[in-house]
A and B are shown apart, each in its own frame.
Chain A
Amino acid sequence: MLAAVGSMIVEIVGEDYLLDLEIGMATSFSEDLELESIEFVTLAEKLAERYGDAVDFVAWLADTELDDLIGMTVGTLVTFVAASLDSAAPRTS
């Protein structure tokens, strides 16, 4: 999941801007990646295109404080996406 989200970020920001930065779970969107708000929107759109209703990023945003968004790490997003996909997956017993 980290690889999938990481490649989306690279696609949005461009490798030239990332320089030597390696995207990991602790990488912050604001301080490390300096992701602009419109770029974060694009990331949300890419998540929606890839995962559809299984990952309800908009509903998650509604329950997230702005300060938490500003300080958010890639790991927070990856964990959210993974948990969403896990809960959406059909249960097998």
Chain B
Amino acid sequence: MTFVDIDGRRVHVMRMGARAGVPVVMAHGLFTGTVASWFFTAAPTLAKDRPVVLYDLRGHGRSDPPLDGDHSSASQAIDLARLVDHLDLPSFHLVGHSFGALVAIRHALRRGARLASLTLVEPPIRADRSGGKLTGETAPAEAATGEAAMGEAWWWRTASEETGRLAPELRRRSARVGPSVDEIRDSLTGEPEVTDDDLRRLPNGTSVVLGDRSAALAMVPRLRRVRPDIGIRVFAGGHSIHVDARDDVVDHLRSVMSADHPAFHDERPENEEVAYG
């Protein structure tokens, strides 16, 4: 196994695939997410064309948990920045699933200039709301639940769905040695949502992949309003769309990565590299 030292913590990294080509870095989702999320889905096929880098988020898989209990997307984005610096990746494609997509968004907003493309798979982006209520064009699950009724932070719904579905796995061996679900949840309580301004600042050529049975579909009207240029692909499946529709997701990723997105490299002051503290 390969580990990279980031601030005294071990971050588990897997590098695979072709030695030439613009690499792709892939981030997984919360709790049961690990390098395995991509290793058993899209990564092997992508590895035929280019180097692939998978890593375990802090506190997940084989990566050490943070001593200060900080699991926020901002802290995870700092880890990602340090990781790509350590691996000396001058340009790379970035893919994130669920919370990993949020980490990718945070990274893109601060260091988007290095990105060759950005693909957000089931990102936790809130739907449009009107007067505190969800707008009409929402997925059934979203409309039935309602934000207020949940009594939870906006990001928690998606994570809870995944946790509930995969609860048996959380009781098993490797999950028991990591941080508790409660620790991660508490750390993410103050997690800021993705704002319209954030969406406007995402690099051109960003794409979003959603499942047709996912509550995340509710974000589509907002995305179309704020960033009509963002490509949205909807495939048959739920929140784990990279599992449910592996081949479709792979085809999309290969298409995105083979396309030329010159706008990614335009001068965009808001996307210039920002040093992390």
Interface residues of A (CB under 8 A from B): 13-14, 17, 34, 36-42, 44-45, 58-59, 61-62, 66, 69
- For window 32-68 of B, CB contacts with A under 8 Å fall at 34-37, 39-41, 43-45, 47-48, 56, 61-62
Binds A, one of B91-99, B110-118, B169-177, B264-272: B169-177
Report whether A37 and B36 are in contact in the complex, using a CB–CB cutoff of 8 Å. yes
Chain B residues with Cβ under 8 A from A40's Cβ?
A: 36, 40
Given A44-B39, A45-B14, A39–B44 Cβ distance below 8 Å? no
Chain A residues with Cβ under 8 A from B45's Cβ?
A: 62
User: Considering the chains assembled together, what is the distance between the CA atoms of A41 and B174 in angstroms?
Assistant: 12
Interface residues of B (CB under 8 A from A): 1, 14, 16-17, 34-37, 39-41, 43-45, 47-48, 56, 61-62, 169, 172-175, 243, 246
Report whether A42 and B173 are in contact in the complex, using a CB–CB cutoff of 8 Å. no
Report whether B48 and A38 are in contact in the complex, using a CB–CB cutoff of 8 Å. no
Report whether A58 and B17 are in contact in the complex, using a CB–CB cutoff of 8 Å. yes
Chain A residues with Cβ under 8 A from B43's Cβ?
A: 58
Q: How far is the CB of A82 from chain B (nearest CB, A)?
A: 21
Report whether A36 and B174 are in contact in the complex, using a CB–CB cutoff of 8 Å. yes
Please tell me which one of the listed residues B17, B44, B174 contacts residue A38 in the complex, with CB atoms under 8 A apart: B174
Please tell me which one of the listed residues B34, B40, B172 contacts residue A69 in the complex, with CB atoms under 8 A apart: B40
21 A–B contacts, CB within 8 A, in A order? A17-B173, A36-B173, A37-B37, A38-B35, A38-B36, A38-B62, A38-B174, A39-B174, A41-B34, A42-B1, A44-B39, A45-B1, A45-B14, A58-B16, A58-B43, A58-B44, A59-B47, A61-B39, A62-B45, A66-B40, A66-B41
